[in-house]
Amino acid sequence: MVQDRIPSIDVHVHYVPPSYKKAVEEAGEAQTDGVPLPQWAPEMHLESMDRMNIAAAMLAISSPGIHFGNDPGARRLAREVNEFGADVVRGHPTRFGLLAALPVPDIDGSLAEIEYAADVLHADGFKLPTHGRGVYLGDARLDPVFEELSRRGAVVVIHPQKPSAVPGDVLDGYPIPMMEFLFDTTRAVTNMIMNRTLQRFPGVKLVLPHAGAFLSVLADRLTGRRRMLAPPGQERAAPDIHEALRQMYYDLAGYPVPGQLFALLQIMGPDRLLYGSDWPFTPEAKALALQNRLVTTDLLTPEQRQAVFYGNAAAMFPRLATQGGTGVGN
């Protein structure tokens, strides 16, 4: 059954500019995740969006990201993919938004790209990988980037990467996204929570991928351990795991029904949940099947489902809230 009752704003979707495809191939990273780069073009994307009743989609670069070990090269590639994405948005302003890429862990390059993407390209937000060359989100070295993003009140969408270290001879032959992406998201966000990144930079609106990975399941364990490890008399000063999770947003790309969605709803309300298709890395037929599981689950009321598919993201990206929640855009 095609989802034909609720138009969607898709916050987890990807684009593949020609310059990006070329850079990934030249860096020898085309198969780093065990998944080839898919075909993509704006017209192809719009046709798929119409079939899935997606009103608007937030374009972002996926793994393996844009930094392949060379700061100048990463800066050039960030500029190229961001300008390409901005051109697509200008051509279809009611259908696409842009989550600009940053060349982390290059701090100076990232600060310059934040300024250019926000002030010149008018990006709707930013996409950050779970780590850049092994520097994970929550690392103090990235504080200047988060300080600037906080000052601008930016929406920041996380996307997982292949972990900086993966055990050998385990699940050989299976693609990295199947499991390691979830581990890396959990690792990066836990690092942010324990280092109080969002408490120190509260202007950032952080969106976690894939229903928050394992965080909703680990929250109780993290809470117990951080209290146990706190110095005597300072237990209350330790980070509040559940409260930190309630301050974040979560896209529902992947397989959130029923387990992850149920666990998330034990911690927070549905006002923090957003729709994501993960197209084109998730083929359209599979994306439709996953979309329809969200349409039909009894874990959400009709009003909550409307908010998850459209209303919550429309509040986050008001520029794209032009369709009124009644159908796809023009």
Stretch 298-317: mean pLDDT = 97
The answer to whether 104 touches 161, Cβ cutoff 8 Å, is no
Tell me the C-alpha distance between 106 and 316, whole Å.
Answer: 28
Indicate the pTM of the whole model. 0.94
Tell me the C-alpha distance between 91 and 156, whole Å.
Answer: 23
Predicted local confidence at residue 77, as pLDDT: 98
The sign of the dihedral angle between the CA atoms of 174, 177, 180, 183 is negative
Record: fold of 8-320:
TIM Barrel (3.20.20)
Alpha helices in the chain (DSSP H): 18-26, 42-51, 71-91, 107-119, 143-151, 180-194, 197-200, 215-229, 241-246, 259-267, 284-296, 302-306, 312-316
pLDDT band at 237 (very low <50, low <70, confident <90, very high): low
pLDDT tens-digit readout, 11-42 = 999 999 999 999 999 999 998 899 999 999 99
pLDDT tens-digit readout, 169-218 = 999 999 999 999 999 999 999 999 999 999 999 999 999 999 999 999 99
Reduced to 3 states (helix: H, G, I; strand: E, B; else coil), residue 195 is coil
The answer to whether 149 touches 203, Cβ cutoff 8 Å, is yes
Instruction: Describe the crossing of helices 215-229 and 180-194 by its angle, rounded to 10 degrees.
Output: 40
pLDDT band at 321 (very low <50, low <70, confident <90, very high): confident
Predicted local confidence at residue 8, as pLDDT: 97
Q: What percent of the chain has pLDDT over 70?
A: 94
More confident residue, 238 or 152: 152
Give buried/exposed letters for 236-250 (b at 16+ CB in 10 A, else e). eebbebeebbebbbb
Amino acid at 135: V
